[in-house]
């Protein structure tokens, strides 16, 4: 495991521990298990870093020493806020990490105690790094913040739906406003960030990705201002009905039987009804997007849609395109991710039947044959990542992320695609590269869509 992966695991374990401690005392078996897991993760992290490691919290991000934990910051944003609320600015882990010290930390995070012993193997706010060491106000940080907020919106909406409480879409409106702004100002970076995946929170990450892709596509088509915002709300919430679908069906390992499939097919109407109930005037069209995003261009999908005007709504056709693209490029339960080019192939195959050909074409114009974040296998066995969509007939901007001998590069190196042969697209999970995590390192060119 890399340091980043260990840190992600530790944060997940700490979150689980704090949650568990709120329910049961330390002596309880399940709390004990959570404590053991968190202690092992912390020890793995500290010993793997040479005996001491500092995890800092600043603005919306976790840092491992000076390195931004991009994925973890998004994944564990709730824990981040909770820790910040408790005044934690940094946590230093010293190997060998003691279970009792992790228990103290868990209790502190869970608001069950007021402090952590000063001389323990887990120390709070003793970071040697200053704020200036940890860059937080970069354009990419702002983009990540927008992503996090959108994730939080979805988590909130899902929580409300889960408990049958009314959902509040005013926060969704605010969050997508930020995302629209960031996607317009940093299109390439946004597209790169939209390769972010999460197995645990597949629907949420997928929805934010679809939102970003939809904003970019809408912008490219010429939409502006309020229309983009309304589109973004629809895109962000398009799959929210899945909250109502039994998770065992969503994560079912294989082809669904008739009953399971019936359940899945209900998610558009579930989502549409929930959005419609909560949406303020002007936002209600988001329900249409949720309702129609699987209806297919030729009407052969689900549910059967009958409209006053013949076609599916413009926004629905747009989101159907971006939704398919992101779904195919994402690994889900028992499903391998496909490469971006495979996803584009599927879109093209369905162009004119399942998908609006104009949107398919525009989407390909937007992301190119090699979308930002695509990983390409080069003739020397290296793996390169696309940072910028190529103009027609041109080659994409590449950075080398993995050497021919399989070594992951600490710092991606720009290379010219012109004198290299691209052998194949590869799936990020298969080569151990998380394109979205490289956002800060590759410094993609900011160029309005």
Partner 1 sequence: MTADLARASAVVEALSAAWTVYNLYPDPASQSAFVRVADTLRQAIGDRDLSMEVGPTGFLIDGEEIQVARGAAERLVKQCFVHNMEVLAFSGLPSDADIVTFLSVLSKDEEDLRGEGGIGAILAKEGISNPAVVTRSLLSSFGEPVETVERDVGVQAVMSQGSNPEEFARSLLEEAGGDRDLLGTIFHDRYRDVFSRVDEKDVSGREMVVTAFVDAFFYFDEGSQVAVLGGFLTGQEDQVDRVFLDQFAGNELAILAPQLDSRGFSLLLDYARIATDQIDKRPEELLGLLESPEPVRSARELVATRVQERLADLEGQMPQRQASASLRTQFPDPAKYFYETLDTFRGLLAVEERDDRFRRLMRVLTGKISGSIRRGRYRRAELWLRAAVDHPTYAAERAAEVRDAISQAGAPDVLEGLIAKLADDDQTEAPKRLLSILAPDHIDVLIDMMAAEEDRARRRTLLDVLGRESARDPRHVIRRLDDERWFVVRNLVIVLGRSGNTTCVPAVRRLLAHHDHRVRVEALRSLSSLDSGSMGYFGEALSDSNESVRQAAIAMLGARGTGESDSLLIGALWSAHLDTDEKERIIRVLGERPSNDAQQAIESMARKRFTLSAKVRQLRSAAREALEAHR
Q: How far is the CB of 418 from partner 1 (least distance, A)?
A: 17
41: tokens are: 């993760």
Q: How far is the CB of 246 from partner 1 (least distance, A)?
A: 14
Asked whether the beta carbons of 365 and 184 are under 8 A apart, the reply is: no
SS3 441: helix
Q: Site for partner 1 (CB under 8 A): which residue of 184, 348, 390, 415?
A: 348
Residues 404-433 that bind partner 1 (CB under 8 A): 405-408, 424-425, 432
Residue 264 in the binding site for partner 1 (CB under 8 A): yes
Number of residues that bind partner 1 (CB under 8 A): 77
Burial class (CB in 10 A: 0-12, 13-18, 19+), 341: middle
Q: CA–CA separation, 268 vs 304, rounded Å?
A: 11
Asked whether the beta carbons of 205 and 152 are under 8 A apart, the reply is: no
Residue 399, CA atoms < 13 Å, CB-side half-sphere: 22
Q: How far is the CB of 322 from partner 1 (least distance, A)?
A: 14
| Region from 69-77, 96-104, 136-144, 250-258 binding partner 1, contact rule CB under 8 A | 250-258
Q: Site for partner 1 (CB under 8 A): which residue of 47, 198, 341, 395?
A: 341
| Region from 98-106, 116-124, 132-140, 328-336 binding partner 1, contact rule CB under 8 A | 328-336
Q: How far is the CB of 404 from partner 1 (least distance, A)?
A: 10
Residue 131 in the binding site for partner 1 (CB under 8 A): no
Q: Which is nearer to partner 1, 81 or 332 (CB)?
A: 332
Q: Site for partner 1 (CB under 8 A): which residue of 59, 139, 342, 395?
A: 342
Note the helical H segments in 29-168.
29-48, 70-75, 77-85, 99-109, 139-162
Q: Please name which of 323, 424, 322, 398 lies closest in space to residue 364, comparing C-alpha atoms.
A: 322
Residues 142-161 that bind partner 1 (CB under 8 A): none
Q: CA–CA separation, 420 vs 418, rounded Å?
A: 6
Q: CA–CA separation, 75 vs 170, rounded Å?
A: 23
Q: Site for partner 1 (CB under 8 A): which residue of 111, 126, 133, 226?
A: 226
Residue 336 in the binding site for partner 1 (CB under 8 A): yes
| Region from 57-65, 71-79, 115-123, 285-293 binding partner 1, contact rule CB under 8 A | 285-293
Render 376-388 in DSSP notation, one character per residue: EEETTS-EEEEEE
Q: Which is nearer to partner 1, 20 or 146 (CB)?
A: 20
Q: How far is the CB of 274 from partner 1 (least distance, A)?
A: 9
Residues 369-408 that bind partner 1 (CB under 8 A): 369, 405-408
DSSP state of 390: P
């Amino acid at each position: 495991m890399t340091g980043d992966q260990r840190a992600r695991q530790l944060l997940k374990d700490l979150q689980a521990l704090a949650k568990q401690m709120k329910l049961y005392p330390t002596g309880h078996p399940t709390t004990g298990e959570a404590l053991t897991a968190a202690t092992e993760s912390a020890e793995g992290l500290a010993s793997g870093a040479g005996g001491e490691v500092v995890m800092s919290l600043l603005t919306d991000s976790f840092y491992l020493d000076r390195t931004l934990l991009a994925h973890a910051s998004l994944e564990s944003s709730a824990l981040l806020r909770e820790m910040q609320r408790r005044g934690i600015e940094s946590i230093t882990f010293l190997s060998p990490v003691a279970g009792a010290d992790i228990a103290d930390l868990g209790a502190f995070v869970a608001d069950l105690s007021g402090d952590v012993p000063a001389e323990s193997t887990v120390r709070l706010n003793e970071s040697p790094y200053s704020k200036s060491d940890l860059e937080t106000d970069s354009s990419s940080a702002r983009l990540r913040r927008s992503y996090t907020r959108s994730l939080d919106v979805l988590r909130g909406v899902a929580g409300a739906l889960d408990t049958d409480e009314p959902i509040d879409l005013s926060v969704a409106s605010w969050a997508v406003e930020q995302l629209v702004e960031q996607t317009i100002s940093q299109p390439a970076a946004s597209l790169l960030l939209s390769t972010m995946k999460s197995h645990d929170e597949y629907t949420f990450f997928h929805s934010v990705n679809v939102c970003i892709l939809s904003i970019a596509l809408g912008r490219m088509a010429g939409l502006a201002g309020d229309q983009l915002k309304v589109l973004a709300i629809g895109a962000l919430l398009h799959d929210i009905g899945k909250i109502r679908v039994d998770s065992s069906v969503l994560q079912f390992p294989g082809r669904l039987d008739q009953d399971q499939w019936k359940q899945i097919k209900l998610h558009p109407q579930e989502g549409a009804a929930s959005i419609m109930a909560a949406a303020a005037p002007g936002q209600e069209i988001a329900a249409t997007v949720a309702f129609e995003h699987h209806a297919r261009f030729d009407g052969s999908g689900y549910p059967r849609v009958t409209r006053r005007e013949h076609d599916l709504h413009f926004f629905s056709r747009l989101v159907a395109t971006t939704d398919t693209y992101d779904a195919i490029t994402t690994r889900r339960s028992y499903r391998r991710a496909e490469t971006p080019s495979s996803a584009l192939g599927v879109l093209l195959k369905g162009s004119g039947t399942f998908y609006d050909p104009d949107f398919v074409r525009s989407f390909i114009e937007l992301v190119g044959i090699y979308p930002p974040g695509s990983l390409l296998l080069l003739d020397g066995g290296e793996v390169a990542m696309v940072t910028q969509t190529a103009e027609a007939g041109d080659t994409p901007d590449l950075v080398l992320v993995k050497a021919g001998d399989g070594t992951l590069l600490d710092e991606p190196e720009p290379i010219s695609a012109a004198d290299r042969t691209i052998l194949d697209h590869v799936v990020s999970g298969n080569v151990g590269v998380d394109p979205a995590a490289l956002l800060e390192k590759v410094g993609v060119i900011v160029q309005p869509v």
